[in-house]
Each structure stands twice: as structure tokens, then as C-alpha cells.
Amino acid sequence: SQQGEEDPQALSIQEGENATMNCSYKTSINNLQWYRQNSGRGLVHLILIRSNEREKHSGRLRVTLDTSKKSSSLLITASRAADTASYFCATDSGGSNYKLTFGKGTLLTVNP
């Protein structure tokens, strides 16, 4: 079964606006990651947040993690048309395991 589930499934905004995507998961984790996928391409890693961290920034990206609610959010500020892509959260299983489980993704469309 899916460990991470993104919400919403699709999001359409205007350039310059902020975009927020959410991820919920079911079991304890070591870390949670966010990836981006441009249409028809491979995934690109954006940011990793560990279970003992609550917030992390990278450029225009801000990720939060609430382990008590088993949820994370990805905020993209001042969005650009080039941010149009699918965004996936990925979680590990919490143990010594090399597997990641990916959600189904949020499709973000940034209109110029």
C-alpha cells in the first residue's frame, strides 16, 4: 500500500503565487523526501527532511514535517512557469531499509 499520499492531486496557479502541496504517511519514518518530475522525464531530488527536523529551506522551497500528524508540506514561493511539474513525496519504512515508497504525486501547473 502507498506510504505517502499527496494532496491535492492537481493544483493550478498563476506565476508569482505560492504553491503548497501536502503529503500524509502512515508509519514511522527516518526521513521524508520531495522529488520533482517534469513531463516524461526522470525524477529529480529536491529536499530531504529527517524525522528530528521540523522545517527545512532550500532556495524558494520550504518543507515542514509534523511527525505527530504524520504529514509534510512543500511550499514553493514566487512560483515560475518552469516550476510546472509533478511533485512526489517519498518515505522510507523507518527501519534499516533501502527502499523508498512514493506517493502518486501532485501535478502543479503554473500559468504565465
Could you list the residues that contact another protein (CB under 8 A)?
A: 2, 30-31, 33, 35, 40-45, 48, 88, 90, 92, 95-105
Closest CA to 92 of 77, 107, 80, 102: 102
Cβ nearer to another protein, comparing 15 with 37: 37
Given a contact cutoff of 8 angstroms between Cβ atoms, the answer to whether 105 and 7 are in contact is no
Cβ nearer to another protein, comparing 5 with 15: 5
| Shortest CB 23 distance to another protein, Å | 12
- The CB-based long-range contact list for 58-66 (8 Å cut-off, 24+ gap) reads 61/34, 63/32, 63/34, 65/32
Cβ nearer to another protein, comparing 20 with 102: 102
